Structure 1
Amino acid sequence: MSTRLATARVLLAPASAAALLLSLVAVPPAAAQESPPAVVVSQVYGGGGNSGALYTHDFVELFHSGSLPVSLDGWSVQYASAAGSTWLVTPLSGSLAPGQHFLVRQAAGAGGSQPLPEPDATGSTAMAAGSGKVALVATTTPLTGTCPAGAAVDFVGYGSGASCFEGSGPAPTLSNPVAAVRLDGGCRDTDDNPADFGTANPPTPRNTATPATPCDGGDPGEPPVTVTCPTSPVPGFDVSTTETYPAHRDLTATAAGATVTGLAVAVNPVPAEGTIAVIDVVPAPGPGGTATGTLAISDDVTAGSYQATVTATATGGEEGTCTAAIEVLPLVPVGAAQGAIADGQTDFTSPLLGQRVAVRAVVTQLTREGNGNRGFFLQERADRTDGDPRSSDGSFVFNGDFTTLRTEAEGPAREQVGNDWPVTVGDEIVLRGQVGQFFGMTQFSGSSSFVWEVTDTGLDIEDTVAVAEIDPPDDAGDSLRYHRRQLGMQLAVPAGSLVVGGRDVFAGTDAEVWAIRGDHPVATRPDPYARRVFRDVHPLDNQPQTGFDDGNGYRFVLGSFGVKGTTGDPDAVLAPAKTFDTITATNRGGVYLSFGKYTVNVVDQLALDTGGPDPAGNAPVPAADRERELSIATYNVENLYDFRDSPSSGCDFAGNPGCFADGESVTPPFDFVPGSDAEHQARLQRMAQQIRLDLHSPDILLAQETEAQDVCRVSPQWTPETGPGLGADRLDCDLTNPGAGNTGTDGRPDSLHELALVIAEQGGPAYDVAADLDSGDLRGITTGYLYRTDRVVLPAADPAHPVLGSDPQVDYPGTPLPFNADVSNPKSLNAALPDDVAETCAGSGPTACDGLNVFSRPAQVAQFRVWRAGIGTSTWTDLYLVDNHLSSGPDNRVRQRTEQAVYNARIADALLAAEPDARILVGGDLNVFPRPDDPYPPGTPIPGIGVGPSDQLRQLYESPLTNLHDALLAGAPAATYSFGFQGQAQTLDHLWTSPSLRAVVVDVHSAKINVDWPADAAGQPPGYGRFGVSDHDPQVVRLAATPTFPAVRALIDHLLATGDLSTPAARTVLALLATAERLQDRGLTTPADTVLAAAVVALQAFARFGLVTPEAAAGLSAEIGLLRSR
């Protein structure tokens, strides 16, 4: 035993080890002093109860290597994680005689098959299996810091991650079945952890009842017989082989002054099958010579961990030993690693999770991701599976950015292919590695897996492994189990399969396409527009009569990792499939789990028949009759960001640091911003075309998800004619000065304003933008309005108005935010969540909240006047619009979204209380389904809240407002959806109307211009022109605007007030109108028309005499003409 420094160990952090060693050279050695009590940590084990562990508990073993008894009263064993500074204390008591061990039992795990011997002390510390720090301390005071120098009697840092240790480095990295053990029976103590500790597999825990093995008080010196056991690069083992593979390793032994005559081995535990023996022993040729032998492991040894103690005997009776930890890794069916999935099972955790195993399988497919990561699928030969249809015969190997996999040093593959095996489709290999799960995906990782043997090459995949046609059941739960039983296996996508959603694209080029089998009853419906998947409660669901039923498990999704792997191109993307396309060629691919979706990553590019029904032809939006109608649209424009770096935002341009407020953050990468101005300009052109050609230039458009940036004004050089040439320069922007100092602000969101200009450049009507930028969220998206300046006026807000004024009468229990008092049109409204709601905001899922206000993107109320014809000279319709973009995720933020609906209902209440006949439309992206649909069907648990339905829009349904979804469903059920999610059509975008507005609704439509079309892929032109520019379909309502007698009388009052109509002329016309109205009410339409014609003649006469302006006479005559019977 080495002489210690006075009372404590020299502990070294990795960065200081070299410097301290140099300093020790320069200091003269101190005189030898009496050693402190010679108790050391002799064994450390943190894998107890883990997968593959023998023992159920972690433990620390102590050993008394000195010559006098020692009391442990008041001492402690303390533990900290590898890089940690928090020390967990286990008090000790009792005494130790020389050579006696002391066992400290710590926390238990869920596994292990054998309890520890009776402990001498018990703690509850859960120790890490691989790396950590253990200190023996002469007090019970917790240590401090990551490396508490000078405070420990003994100290062991184990594993490569340990931040503190004795000597030159930490003791070996351990694992679930492997302990660190002090060498020379606990007597070696050089104050250097890597020199003092080896490993034991299995561990050998000893307590005070174990026979004492005292040291001689000095250095052990050279043993009389030296035996050398084999070593292995496999951590924790000296010999590692694979089940069914024999192993032979060399042994040597020498003795100074004696001749080694024999070698023998004792194995613990004794294998149930097969033998571990020493064979081919050749005695030493004479004194000091070397004897040789072979440690032989037969090919039928039962898989497991063994400890072989090899004893060499010399003439004169001298003996020496060495110990070899032996691993016989189990060779298991892939199905054993995946696990058999029983009917009704919902926990798909691998029964071998965390265990190292070997599997034999064929490489069936390469994969690649858009970020460059590689992988490959393995599947067993069809004649070598476990024969259990409930378990998968395939698996996935994640290989990072590597195209090769390391070979195992002790396996045949090292001689077959060298150090690295190039991943090759058609090779059959024996793979050794740890069974892992990544977000539910059972897989192996190339970083911890090795090729043991290449057993075959050049195999034809479809001739060698089973490739079944994909055929998931209708029930969603059964479908999950179906896909889980195929995880990692190759499935064939049959020709004739039908695409049921436009291609989705994520992170630039990672894409997916949802489809159903072509022979499914849904795919063979008579109405081609009904050949798609609707949510359960939709009347065109596969089981419409049963409401919430099967969850539509028959849909499946195709991914792009296989096409990328086949081509070697990380930017390869699936073909731009649209809803109703037909897959014309059978394809196959491995089943992969990601983000809760089981994806078939097809090997080849999709072959598509694109000649199916045109999605845009599904109940298209009719143009409004501008003489008698007006139209309003709601449109989520999906991240309409420009390519400008706003000085007021930290998260709207590549290279920005992020946006941070109130504990929330938006950090890079900002995948919601365009990659170039050309990309932004192209989106503007396409969206403008949609608004003109598909929405027919609505009078007002409620926009959601436009950028809340306001640093630009319209350039003086811009006109509709010069705009196309100006491009981005159509706006003059201040990209330097943030906040109130910015010189480019005009109160309009720049991207929405630019869209209005592009519409005009394309020959569309002139639009202006109205917005209150207080509706923006942290990320920088907001709601806003486009309105036609040829027909629509935005009145100034009245300070006394019950909503737009300084004292909004919105009856809501939360405290209003300060900007609620702004006098503004439009106007953002928001409030703090009530305390009883805010207190429940927690974590993720249904109880999550986007901050502690009602809205993260406040509701935006606007008042508009829509003139039927000329502004100021025709009848009008006054409207209140409430534009919303509620919190996302129908099954998340349930309480907060419920409050958002409540607040909208209270806004409507406040308007109707002041104006009972107010024409109100509450709309936008509400991010939840209309009744009776619900993210939580009746009886379904809502974590943290209760049971379904969540009925998040209940307060709107119980208000005087009417959801136009029902009218849309009645008129065009196959077109009643606004969003697609995982292959299902669903409605997130809503239009709610007050009674007076509902009375003039002509119809409502959903423009099928985005959801069913392929999303854009980075670096590729749009697949179908203007279609697919957003992920939502706009909703459009047409409203009757035909003049009424009250409306014409109101126009006369307006003309009187403006001086365009004299009082005598007004009296005459009003008298004639009253007569005509009475006649019409009595059904006398012909006499009524005659009177109305007389009123027009009178106006013409008044105009000649200057009693009415020509413009007013023409406008009023037109309105009166429309009062005539039709």
Structure 2
Amino acid sequence: MVGATLTTLAAPAKALSTDVVISAVYGGGGNSGAAFKNDFIELANRTSSPISVEGWSVQYASAAGVVFQMTALHGSIPANGRYLVQEAAGAGGTLDLPAPDATGSVPMSGTSGVVALSTSTIPLIGCGISCSTAPNVKDLVGYGATANVETLAAPGLTNTTADARGGSLVDTDNNSVDFTSGVPKATNTAGATVTATDNPGGPTDPTPGSTRIHDIQGSGRISPIVGQNVTNVPGIVTAVRSTGSSRGYWMQDPSADADPLTSEGVFVFMGTTTPAVAIGDSVLATGRVSEFRPATGAQTLTEIGGTVSTVKLTSGNALPAPIPVVFADAFTKTGALEAQPLEPDSYVLDWLEVHEGMRVTVAQSTRLVSPVNTEFGELWVTLKPNQNPTPRGGTAYESYADPNSGRLMLAALNGAPAANVGSTLAGGSIGVVDYQSFGGYVIQTTNLAAITDGGLKRQMVTAPKKAGDLSIATYNVENLTAGDPDTKFARLAQAVVVNLGKPDILALEEIQDNNGVADGGVVAADQTVNKFIAAIVAAGGPTYDWRSINPNNGTDGGAPDGNIRQVFLFNPARTTFVDRPGGDANTAVTVQKERPTSNQIFLSASPGRIDPTSSAWNASRKPLVGEFNYDGNKQLFVIANHFTSKGGDAPLTAAVQPPNRSSEVQRDAQASEVRDFVADLAAKSGNTARVVVLGDLNDYQFSPTLVTLTNDGALLKTLINDLPLNERYSYVFDGNSQTLDHILISPTIMGYSYGVVHINAEFSDQASDHDPQIIRILTGCGSTPLPERCRPGNPVVDVP
């Protein structure tokens, strides 16, 4: 009967588990020399939600794997928690396990055996040496001399060792890779942990080993003993990270060596296990030395990881004195940094590397050059207040050659209050030097000094419009979808009406489909757009009309299933959209002439998309082209863009300098497509076409992308270059005020005023992460010389 039941169940291809796994097995309980009295099996929940194991079982067989003995499970495993199954006791041992969550009487082998986690209480029968693929088996570990395994066996056990899965709990379906042997340690659902003791000089004996932190760090970027196991490395705990998937603690040796290039601090990585230590504890750490590279092209963080064990000796110890952060003039040298000697007195990145993991302090008062990200407690300050300052308190990113060496990122481990660019961080913040994928080097701050608000105000358009003027704005509204809260729509609408002064044409980027990132093949965005228009009306604005083209599902990049696209909003009382049928997701818009000898041109479709099947637009947004009439019957072509992002580029702190900007290749191809279309407008119109190219180009005014797009300034003018060098920004990233958004115009547009309206990027409280930009095409500017109001440089926004 049992056999018949088993044959009706679908067998998984493998026992690869994404949620609950076997995290440890120990069969030497009560044997000679053992510390624990009982054998045990430990399970781990890899997810952030509790998981019920009611009706599940763990089943054990000897190395031959013929007959399995079962222990039923009950209850649930907490989010990111453990579950302890106590098995048979021996005559020896001195330590009790933590209170078990399930109890069995199975006598497990102290050398070789098989443990399976099953989602039922049906005994495993007849699976031979292939029990990992048997019905209901969620996970399996074979240890020692057994063929009943996932790929290859985990290490054999002894009376004083257990097999444990690494701190990140990775399940590769290879027991030999996933498990390592070490001192037995057991944890239950309450989080109570007991670690066995061992022989003098072993990992849990309170005798420091021969390896010190400076031996691990070495005098270069890569540890000289990377990949080696280290035992009982001493240190004082200086900081603890107890949340997320990269939990662990930093420790520092209070007895420094004489080499200034060897750091005395290191991070002990514990994955999703919460460290059972506190700041001021004197500890001994055992594990494997590794170099963690958080992103492609990034540098590495030297860690003690693998199967980590920690012996706490004493508490309440004095912490090593923090070292003041002092930066050199130069940011970094060029070439492969990991192959070059460290020169901390000459280069900022080298100074940070030689203090990796150590306790440091920002002793002086500093200025915030980014808003505080309150979700993660992150902020950027400048240690060089006179380095490319913006008028509003930031640091301007003016060229690839100058990444602004005074920038420093702080991440407050205990959170940080909201604060804007230009606010002041008092001196005295203390933390440890870390390296992560976003921002590179960062001070994980245990003591964040007080922040004083800088009084930054949001800007708005102030100059009045004349009857024939036409205002055009671009605004990345950050993944707006119909399901967003009304408050987001209201804030964005307020910006359109008050801060942007009700522009006549508004090009929007990142309008998502009606159900956002929910799957289901929805591509229409009419609910999203109409909800935005209604919010604008409620804020006192006009009833905008709109045009767009729905993309093919899942083809235009951005948030998965969001189907972001560009949209034109326009005020029909101020401008007319010229509709011509034929524009769709796959049809390329072309420039047509009224007659072969005429300069009068028109679009084959309006709205239309530029060459949407070109490989330049793979997984990226296609430009939206529209034809408008204004001020009587003046023709205007507007091209709304959202080029591919910088995802995949190496960070500014990359291991090879200067950083690789691999994403530029596709943006250059996209720029070529738009440039060729604008050139066709110019050529077929006899250089009379008025053209505005705008949107989120995801690149800087000094980038190759802009050189290609503008034909090095001969075809289009980059308006942000009208502004002073330190005002050319609409976005803040890594503490650099920079521009990714642009408005470009053809030479045929004679008189205009232009500006970036700073309402988001510099503020903790944001409706979007981008600032909008606006151009006002001015009437009566066809004469030479230009009237005063028509001359470039006239401000369109206030400058508080």
TM superposition score category, shorter chain reference: 0.5 to 0.7
Give 1:533's aligned residue. Answer: 395
Give 1:331's aligned residue. Answer: 210
Give 1:557's aligned residue. Answer: 409
1:436 aligned to 2:290? yes
Give 1:879's aligned residue. Answer: 636
**CA distances 1:207-259 after superposition (whole Å, capped 9, x unpaired):** xxxxxxxxxxxxxxxxxxxxxxxx9769xx99755399999xxxxxxxxxxxx
Give 1:786's aligned residue. Answer: 569
Q: 2:621 aligns with which of 831, 834, 857?
A: 857
Task: Give the superposition deviation at 1:884.
Answer: 0.6
Give 2:708's aligned residue. Answer: 954
Give 1:448's aligned residue. Answer: 307
8 Å Cα contact 2:717/2:746 also seen in 1: no
Q: Secondary structure at the match of 1:794?
A: strand
Letter of the 2:231 counterpart: V
Letter of the 1:451 counterpart: T
TM-score, structure 1 normalization: 0.47
1:253-292 aligned at under 5 Å gives the runs none
Q: 1:1033 aligns with which of 746, 771, 786?
A: 771
1:926 aligned to 2:800? no
Q: Secondary structure at the match of 1:471?
A: coil
1:513 aligned to 2:379? yes
Distance (Å, rounded) in 2 between the aligned partners of 1:971 and 1:170: 64
Q: 2:630 aligns with which of 835, 854, 866?
A: 866
Q: Percent identity?
A: 22
- Unmatched runs of 5 consecutive residues or more in structure 1: 1-12, 25-129, 133-144, 150-157, 176-200, 202-230, 248-298, 300-328, 342-346, 405-421, 538-547, 564-572, 644-673, 675-679, 712-734, 812-820, 839-851, 868-874, 935-949, 1015-1021, 1023-1027, 1046-1079, 1082-1126
> Quick one: structure 1 residues 784 and 521, their matched pair in 2 at CA, closer, same or farther if it must change by over 3 Å?
same
Task: Give the superposition deviation at 1:511.
Answer: 3.6
**CA distances 1:161-205 after superposition (whole Å, capped 9, x unpaired):** 789617999876179xxxxxxxxxxxxxxxxxxxxxxxxx9xxxx
1:189-200 aligned at under 5 Å gives the runs none
8 Å Cα contact 2:64/2:146 also seen in 1: no
8 Å Cα contact 2:410/2:442 also seen in 1: yes
1:683-722 aligned at under 5 Å gives the runs 683-709=488-514
Give 1:457's aligned residue. Answer: 315
**CA distances 1:722-743 after superposition (whole Å, capped 9, x unpaired):** xxxxxxxxxxxxx999769xxx
Give 1:368's aligned residue. Answer: 242
**CA distances 1:710-761 after superposition (whole Å, capped 9, x unpaired):** 89xxxxxxxxxxxxxxxxxxxxxxx999769xxxx6xx54323312211111
Distance (Å, rounded) in 2 between the aligned partners of 1:398 and 1:148: 34
1:915 aligned to 2:770? no
Q: 1:388 aligns with which of 245, 248, 259?
A: 259
> Quick one: structure 1 residues 17 and 862, their matched pair in 2 at CA, closer, same or farther if it must change by over 3 Å?
same
8 Å Cα contact 2:128/2:148 also seen in 1: no
Letter of the 1:982 counterpart: D
> Quick one: structure 1 residues 972 and 736, their matched pair in 2 at CA, closer, same or farther if it must change by over 3 Å?
closer
Q: 2:356 aligns with which of 475, 487, 497?
A: 487
Task: Give the superposition deviation at 1:449.
Answer: 2.1
Counting matched residue pairs gives: 585
8 Å Cα contact 1:963/1:990 also seen in 2: no
1:592-611 aligned at under 5 Å gives the runs 592-595=434-437, 597-611=440-454
Task: Give the superposition deviation at 1:955.
Answer: 4.6
Q: 2:543 aligns with which of 747, 751, 766?
A: 766
Greater Rg by CA: 1
Q: 1:466 aligns with which of 298, 305, 321?
A: 321
Letter of the 2:410 counterpart: L
**CA distances 1:487-530 after superposition (whole Å, capped 9, x unpaired):** 1111112351110012236xxx224101012x64339x7xx717
Give 2:531's aligned residue. Answer: 754
Q: Secondary structure at the match of 1:513?
A: strand
> Quick one: structure 1 residues 764 and 361, their matched pair in 2 at CA, closer, same or farther if it must change by over 3 Å?
same
Give 1:963's aligned residue. Answer: 717
Q: Secondary structure at the match of 1:482?
A: helix
Give 1:827's aligned residue. Answer: 608
> Quick one: structure 1 residues 174 and 975, their matched pair in 2 at CA, closer, same or farther if it must change by over 3 Å?
farther
Give 2:433's aligned residue. Answer: 591
1:655-674 aligned at under 5 Å gives the runs 674=484
Letter of the 2:733 counterpart: F
8 Å Cα contact 1:357/1:435 also seen in 2: no
- 473-482 or 920-929, which moves further after superposition? 473-482
- Unmatched runs of 5 consecutive residues or more in structure 2: 1-14, 16-57, 69-111, 115-126, 132-139, 158-180, 186-195, 294-299, 333-346, 593-601, 650-660, 786-800
> Quick one: structure 1 residues 737 and 909, their matched pair in 2 at CA, closer, same or farther if it must change by over 3 Å?
same
1:358 aligned to 2:232? yes
> Quick one: structure 1 residues 549 and 959, their matched pair in 2 at CA, closer, same or farther if it must change by over 3 Å?
closer
Distance (Å, rounded) in 2 between the aligned partners of 1:23 and 1:586: 65
Task: Give the superposition deviation at 1:1034.
Answer: 1.1
Task: Give the superposition deviation at 1:829.
Answer: 2.8
Distance (Å, rounded) in 2 between the aligned partners of 1:991 and 1:825: 20
Distance (Å, rounded) in 1 between the aligned partners of 2:462 and 2:149: 83
Please report the RMSD computed on the Cα atoms of aligned residues, expressed in angstroms: 4.5
Task: Give the superposition deviation at 1:914.
Answer: 3.1
Distance (Å, rounded) in 2 between the aligned partners of 1:822 and 1:961: 19
Distance (Å, rounded) in 2 between the aligned partners of 1:824 and 1:23: 74
Q: Secondary structure at the match of 1:1008?
A: coil
8 Å Cα contact 1:578/1:1013 also seen in 2: yes
> Quick one: structure 1 residues 640 and 146, their matched pair in 2 at CA, closer, same or farther if it must change by over 3 Å?
farther
Q: Secondary structure at the match of 2:578?
A: coil
Distance (Å, rounded) in 2 between the aligned partners of 1:245 and 1:583: 43
8 Å Cα contact 1:880/1:920 also seen in 2: yes
> Quick one: structure 1 residues 626 and 160, their matched pair in 2 at CA, closer, same or farther if it must change by over 3 Å?
farther
Q: 2:330 aligns with which of 457, 475, 488?
A: 475
> Quick one: structure 1 residues 877 and 623, their matched pair in 2 at CA, closer, same or farther if it must change by over 3 Å?
farther
1:504 aligned to 2:258? no
Task: Give the superposition deviation at 1:773.
Answer: 1.4
Q: Which has the higher contact order (CA 8 A, sep 6+)?
A: 2
8 Å Cα contact 1:474/1:550 also seen in 2: no
Q: 2:416 aligns with which of 574, 583, 589?
A: 574
Give 1:682's aligned residue. Answer: 487
Q: Secondary structure at the match of 1:698?
A: coil
8 Å Cα contact 1:392/1:489 also seen in 2: yes
Task: Give the superposition deviation at 1:798.
Answer: 6.7
Q: 2:474 aligns with which of 634, 639, 648?
A: 634
> Quick one: structure 1 residues 710 and 372, their matched pair in 2 at CA, closer, same or farther if it must change by over 3 Å?
closer
Task: Give the superposition deviation at 1:1004.
Answer: 1.4
Letter of the 2:315 counterpart: T
Letter of the 1:827 counterpart: G
1:1004 aligned to 2:754? yes
Give 1:1123's aligned residue. Answer: none
1:987 aligned to 2:703? no
**CA distances 1:289-347 after superposition (whole Å, capped 9, x unpaired):** xxxxxxxxxx9xxxxxxxxxxxxxxxxxxxxxxxxxxxxx8422211112213xxxxx5
Task: Give the superposition deviation at 1:885.
Answer: 0.5
Distance (Å, rounded) in 1 between the aligned partners of 2:358 and 2:706: 41
8 Å Cα contact 2:63/2:145 also seen in 1: no
> Quick one: structure 1 residues 861 and 241, their matched pair in 2 at CA, closer, same or farther if it must change by over 3 Å?
farther
> Quick one: structure 1 residues 604 and 451, their matched pair in 2 at CA, closer, same or farther if it must change by over 3 Å?
same
**Higher helix fraction: Structure 1 or Structure 2?**
1
